[in-house]
Amino acid sequence: MAPSPRVSGFPDPSAEPRRRSGRLGWLLLLGLVFAFMVVGTRALAIDSRLTGEAFDMPGDAGGSIGLRWQGHFEETAEAHYQIVLSDQEQGAFQLVTTLPANTHYEKDRAAPWWMSGPPHPPAHFLQVSTFAESPLLNGRRYFVKILARIGDERFESRVFSGVPQPNWFQWAKLNNFLFMLAFSAGVLLSIRSARTKPTLFLRRIPGIDAVEEAIGRAAETGRPIVYLTGSGELTGRGDASNMATIAATVLLGEVAKRSAVSGTAIKVPHRSPIVMAIAQDMVKDAYRTAGRPDAHADESNFFIAADQFAYTAAVDGMMLRERPAANFFIGYYYAESLLLAETGAATGAIQIAGTDAEHQLPFFIATCDYTLIGEELYAASAYLSRDPALVGALRGQDLGKGFLLVGLMVGTGLLTLGEVTGVTIWETAVQIFHDFR
């Protein structure tokens, strides 16, 4: 059957839906084009608004990378940065931390001035050392993105990467290296000077001068010398690794040498078997040096007890029975100090004490005739032996201490001037001293 002819002047009923679908298609196409334009514009804005870099942290043992970035927009406490990290360029990025946009500036980074490098525009800095709750692996490349959130806007940086590596030298410790070289040079030059000038001056220490008097009195009366090296291993402070105990054993060698020359008996009771073995060798070597190896008795060094007060009671009993002419309390001590020194004072013996235990010094000062305070204990062996190596080392240490004291006074003066005058140059000078401390 043939279609009925269209009557002129009447609209086609099927044309309107076609025109409507055509308009919708054009609108959809224009919307897609506009969306692509917006996305493209937003991508360009992301790249230009957030710039940064990742790099291996200099002067560390590896396991961390540094991030430096700049946000070219208003940074307030309401804006935030998010640091995301991945071990694959196209992998899933994980959030490391979220920071307020007005914090973590590189100028606030705690680093010495010689590691600051060239000045950067106001940039942010962050050190990253973990990924997925695990330390960063040396030699592995990590990829980083910086996300900025400012209100409802979100900006994203390009992906940049860094590889953590161990470094041979920690440049932040350059000051320690320079001080070590200067201190070592000072000690070596002082030792050389001590060898060429045997009469190198050392400050007089009355407690060490009294050693000859105490040994002489023991020789005159025929009574022994009691020498204590301090607390034993039980306390954890008087063992062979303690500085005061080392000084006590070195000084024991000098006292034993003079005792051997004068023919005076010396008794050294111990709490520590390790210290006893060291002291035995020191005393035997001292008698050999004095030319009296036959006069040495192995039983002069003997072990009593590791317990603090059992040892103290035994030594007190020995003092009351044998009434020694001189008592030496050298080393590190605890509560037994007053019990020992009071008993020795009651027997009328000359008593010389030396310790770096500041909480026991008052008891020794009150009950002993002479007391070596703090570092005087370490200088005693050099003072008695006049050995060039010991005397030179002592002089070198004094030079180092003097340098540090001068630095403290100069830094304090500069800081005071800065506070009084308000001139920033003093603050810069103080910072230089502070970094080299």
Q: Which of 148, 352, 395, 365 lies closest to 254, judged by CA?
A: 352
Highest mean pLDDT among 40-49, 93-102, 114-123, 374-383: 93-102
Phi/psi for 330 (5° steps) reads: -120, 130
315-354 confidence digits (pLDDT tens): 999 999 999 999 999 999 998 999 999 999 999 999 999 9
Residue 15: the pLDDT is 53
Nearest partner of 162 among 59, 52, 48, judged by Cα: 52
Mean pLDDT lowest among 116-125, 336-345, 348-357, 389-398: 116-125
The yes-or-no verdict on residue 2 having pLDDT over 90 is no
Q: Which residue has the higher pLDDT, 103 or 428?
A: 103
| Nearest Cα to Cα of residue 360 among 381, 326, 333 | 333
Mean pLDDT of the chain: 82
CA distance 162 to 87: 10
Contact 344, 351 (CB under 8 A): yes
- What residue type is assigned to position 267 of the chain? K
| Cα 1 from chain centre | 105
Q: How confident is the model at residue 32, as a pLDDT?
A: 54
Compute the average pLDDT of residues 114-124: 69
Residue 434: which pLDDT band, with cuts at 50, 70 and 90? low
From CA 229, how far away is CA 120, in angstroms rounded?
59
130: enclosing H helix or E strand: strand 130-131
**Do 226 and 319 touch, CB atoms closer than 8 A?**
yes
Q: Is 356 helix (H, G, I), strand (E, B) or coil?
A: coil
| Residues 401, 378 contacting (CB under 8 angstroms) | no
What pLDDT was estimated at residue 45?
43
pLDDT in tens, 410-425: 878 877 877 777 766 6
What angle separates helix 243-262 from helix 376-385, to the nearest 10 degrees?
A: 30
User: Roughly how many angstroms between the first and final C-alpha of the chain, as a whole number?
Assistant: 109
pLDDT tens track for 259-284? 999 999 999 999 888 899 999 999 99
Give pLDDT, residue 427.
Answer: 61
Average pLDDT over residues 76-100: 87
Q: Each residue of 302-317: pLDDT tens digit?
A: 999 988 899 999 999 9
Helix (H, G, I), strand (E, B) or coil at 135: strand
CB 69 within 8 A of CB 51: yes
